[in-house]
Amino acid sequence: MSVKTANTRKKNPLGNKGADTRYLTPKTQNPIAIQYISQGATIADHITNIENVCKAGVKWVQLRLKKVELIDYLEAAKKCRKICDTYGAIFIINDNVGIAGESKADGIHVGLTDTNPKEARKQLTENAIIGGTANTLEDCLQHIKDGVDYIGLGPFTFTTTKDKLSPVLGLEGYQEIIGQLKKQGHQIPIIAIGGIQIKDTEELFNVGVSGIAVSSLLSSGSDNEIKNNINEIKIAMTN
């Protein structure tokens, strides 16, 4: 699969190389501070859930499909691109640079053993949003060196979303890592991820995370329940 230029219709809202954190401020109600990571039993479920959360007000979506054919992944990505365009949401792909380019996604999120962020940016565009998974301070420092725009730090607690779970950080883990990054002069958006519930959000924002990534929390329930959960997260940002 050839790699085409990633979507250039939007300026990278996170700022190139994490330099601009205005769009991920803990003490504002900026909706970009909520990232939805797609979930579902089928590809169709992923697409439905993405449309539901976009309707409810989420402005940042990550399509995460595992163990699917590339042609099916690409078809789903193109559908999600249209959905996100309709609702004005940022659209990124999990792990697959080729799919990100072909679907004109706004960027990609890579794991610790996936494509290097520097290589991903070469294959996409300088404006592409590049995020990276981290579990330790060392992971974060490596991602910063590699020029990511944000770091998905976790897991906060146990989650069934990932098959191979890294050690749980808990609130103290976030506080320690964010504190060390600040001491070293690094200002990069940190997105908390992994088993986060509504009751956890206020404390996470208070220790300095820039946003949260959720999956199960917004993948079930009625439209009103999804909207209420999103509103609760927004309220937690301002407390």
Question: pLDDT tens digit string along 91-139?
Answer: 999 999 999 999 999 999 999 888 999 999 999 988 899 999 999 999 9
pLDDT band at 236 (very low <50, low <70, confident <90, very high): confident
Q: Alpha-carbon distance 183 to 191, whole Å?
A: 19
**1 Cβ partners below 8 Å, 6+ apart?**
70, 74, 98, 99, 102
Domains located in the chain, CATH noted: 27-238 (3.20.20.70)
Whether this prediction's pTM lies above 0.95 is answered by: no
The predicted structure's pLDDT at residue 7? 52
Question: pLDDT tens digit string along 139-191?
Answer: 999 999 999 999 999 999 976 665 566 789 999 999 999 999 999 999 999 99
Share of the chain above pLDDT 90, in %: 73
